[in-house]
Structure 1
Amino acid sequence: AVTNLSAKNVALFAISCLMYLICGYAIMYGGGYFLQGIEAVDVAEVLATSAENGFDGDSVYSGASDFFFQVVFVATAMSIVSGAVAERMKLWAFLAFAVVMTAIIYPMEGSWTWGGNDVFGMFNLGDAGFSDFAGSGIVHMAGAAAALAAAKAAAA
């Protein structure tokens, strides 16, 4: 049981990182397709840009650092699901769900708030006064809704 949970959590984080890198980040922030939206991955370029911005008095921020910051939230949302279906769902079914959740579902919900995109092209949550600063609306709501759906599916 402990081995299964440990394997599930390690695989969960690996899948979260990979799927968010492949397409999730681009979906969430509108960067286009495969691996777009992360402008600088070359360490020398990131450091040079940061140094130039710092000397100019601007904020020092790497575009790639946002990916690493956001991928932790993706994994957290999926770990909420992991806790809800612990010992109730087969490992491979859970991992397949993790692929869909981290590549499509979470980034789509995140794009509605943090990405600034419209909900299905109809309205913008920011225009309605919705603001999610620390992730309670995205991370925990997405994780809780997915956990409920997964627990319901596992019980059937």
Structure 2
Amino acid sequence: MAGFGEPGVTTVDARDLTVGVVAARWHGELVDVMLSRALAAADACGVAGVQVARVAGSVELPVLAQALARRCDAVVALGVVVRGATAHFDYVCTSVTEGLTRVSLDEATPVGHGVLTVDTIDQAAERAGLPDSIEDKGWSAMVAVLDAALALRALPPT
């Protein structure tokens, strides 16, 4: 985590937008908090509608994100991947990031990357939006993706 450079956007006016949220069940105690914080951010931004889907792990996030991107103005993907003793961490992180990016570009729908990729579970807890966390990834991923969806809407027609 850099700990600096965040744009400081706390809410946006998203009353005409719909958003999909896909959240992993792996590390559910943290992802559930992130999901709650993302939904709180959507509510604070006045989102017109939210659809939530759950999947087993982070590798499954992109396919559900794609299905939601076909139905919603924006999508947020939430998960936690903790480094282990094998290269599995690298494969999962690469697969998830490339998959979510591909969905966003292929569907022309912003996809918020709210997947924590950390070395330890303590690092994940620091970013999950718990009362004593230093970051709130669920909230920030939601606001960022809504901001991107609004920016897309504001573009002049081609």
- Where is the strand percentage greater, Structure 1 or Structure 2? 2
**TM-score grouping bracket, smaller chain normalisation:** 0.3 to 0.5
Q: TM-score, with normalisation over the residues of structure 1?
A: 0.34
TM-score (normalised: structure 2): 0.34
Which of structures 1 and 2 has the bigger CA Rg? Answer: 1
